[in-house]
Structure 1
Amino acid sequence: MPTSHRNPTVTDSANVVRARLLAMIEGDALPADGRLPTERELSDSMHIGRRAVRSALESLLAEGLIWRKQGKGTFAGQPPDKTQLLAAEIVGETNVVEVMEARLCVEPVLAAMAARHALPEDIDRMRNLAQRIVQAGDSDSIELWDGALHRLIARTAKNKPLLTAFSMIDEIRGNQDWRGVRQKARSMRSLQDRNAEHVEIINRIEAGDGPGAEAAMRKHLTTLADNLKRILTPDGG
């Protein structure tokens, strides 16, 4: 009997697209902002129908590995919450030190709650993002992946009011005028030291150790806050 050759189904093709997209997300194939090519660009470059491309993207979207911004495109990682307008109103009335104080109030608690809710796939995503920070070749990329990791931890806590508070702080934290100050604060310590702190936070979350995750996040943010204060008040005043 002649051998039959089954034509690939949409599902087969979608799995191929998904594998290639995951390789792009986990590798160095994306620009600094994490933006993915359009559906048409993916379809043309992979020689696969747009229906399969769309199916693969929907799968990744459902898993929280990508997100979409209206009119801007599709991006790797976790999206910010929709608190931009309120944050924009507050940004001119606060400063870097106040924002760090707010982060210290909110993020350690979120890390503790994440330890109660994190699934294995959440931990895998956290470790992937932590690795992207280490592999980043410039300060903008470090900022991108660092923010994505902290957002993922906040979302994993599964507490909407606290997530909203975090998201507003995170949006304010993204102020362009403050970015240079944060970069100087980060440069006061090695990337390896910061990565060790991220790994410790993730390890505690994976172990379901709420108090340990809270303490690890507090230590991480306190070090950054202390460095910011040194930069802003170099005379100690």
Structure 2
Amino acid sequence: MGDVESRGSSVRAAGAKSLAAYLDEEIASGRLGDGSKLPAERLLSEQFGASRGAVRRVLLDLKERGLITQSVGSGTFVRPGAASTFPVRRREQAAPPSADQTSPAELMEARILIEPLMPRLITRNATGADFTKMVECIDRSEAAQTIEEFEHWDGELHRVFALATHNSFFLKILELTNRVREQGEWGRLKARSLTPERRKEYEAQHRVIVEALRDRDTDAAVKALTGHLVQIQHNLFG
């Protein structure tokens, strides 16, 4: 039991560090501009796997550094001129890398960390129309005659997962994901690794994921989605 609690604490601590780094970079780069409203503490907690207390500590640090303001009943906002408090070099480094600077290996590492966060929001927010789109993507991917067509509908299914969270943060992440998937290197790796047997496994995994989401079974959906992504990573890179 102690080991489980220790691992849980480590994960939450890592989530708080990721949140702090993310907000620093967003403010330094200007993507969170003057007056921008930050997501609610609850959403930040869910998205980064950090406790509500840890989220508050991160926000308090930003406030003490003069980067944000907080107003009861209104929310948390980026203070005007906050980006200028960062060194010029830091602001330049915070600019998002172009898609061609992200390797397929880096993409898979990020997907395994980020995408399993989505089921909690999907099981809470998804509509019947969202699930209909998921099933359509699966049907079309199974009917695909080429690797390119299969890859298109596979990517579309994961985009529908992001849409079904009804949270714009995940849509932005998936936009970056799809830019990397459009690169030639990703296509070559997928074509080399996607045997008929593996394709059938992916198709079966897709249906398990969607069934768990439709049943509003968050834990089962997280487990199935994580297993699916880990297997793709293994098949691509060994």
TM-score bracket for this pair, using the shorter chain length: 0.5 to 0.7
What is aligned with 2:60? none
Structure 2, unaligned runs of 5 or more: 1-94
SS class of match (1:199): helix
Q: CA deviation at 1:116?
A: 1.5
Does the C-alpha gap of structure 1 residues 100 and 197 become closer, same or farther in structure 2, counting only changes over 3 Å? same
Q: CA deviation at 1:163?
A: 2.2
What is aligned with 2:214? 206
The correspondence for 2:110, drawn from 82, 85, 102, is 102
Q: TM-score if structure 2 supplies the norm length?
A: 0.56
Q: CA RMSD in A?
A: 1.8
Mapped partners of 2:121, 2:217: distance in 1? 9
Q: TM-score if structure 1 supplies the norm length?
A: 0.56
Mapped partners of 2:145, 2:237: distance in 1? 26
CA offset digits 1:28-65 (Å, max 9, x no partner): xxxxxxxxxxxxxxxxxxxxxxxxxxxxxxxxxxxxxx
Q: Which has the higher contact order (CA 8 A, sep 6+)?
A: 1
Q: CA deviation at 1:188?
A: 7.1
CA offset digits 1:117-171 (Å, max 9, x no partner): 1212211211111011110001111011111111001110112123212221222
Identity %: 25
Indicate the structure with greater helix content.
2
Moved over 4 A (4+): none
What is aligned with 1:130? 138
Mapped partners of 2:153, 2:104: distance in 1? 20
SS class of match (2:216): coil
Q: CA deviation at 1:111?
A: 2.9
Does the C-alpha gap of structure 1 residues 124 and 184 become closer, same or farther in structure 2, counting only changes over 3 Å? same
- Pairs aligned (count): 144
Q: CA deviation at 1:107?
A: 1.1
The correspondence for 2:201, drawn from 180, 193, 196, is 193
CA offset digits 1:1-30 (Å, max 9, x no partner): xxxxxxxxxxxxxxxxxxxxxxxxxxxxxx
The correspondence for 2:234, drawn from 226, 232, 235, is 226
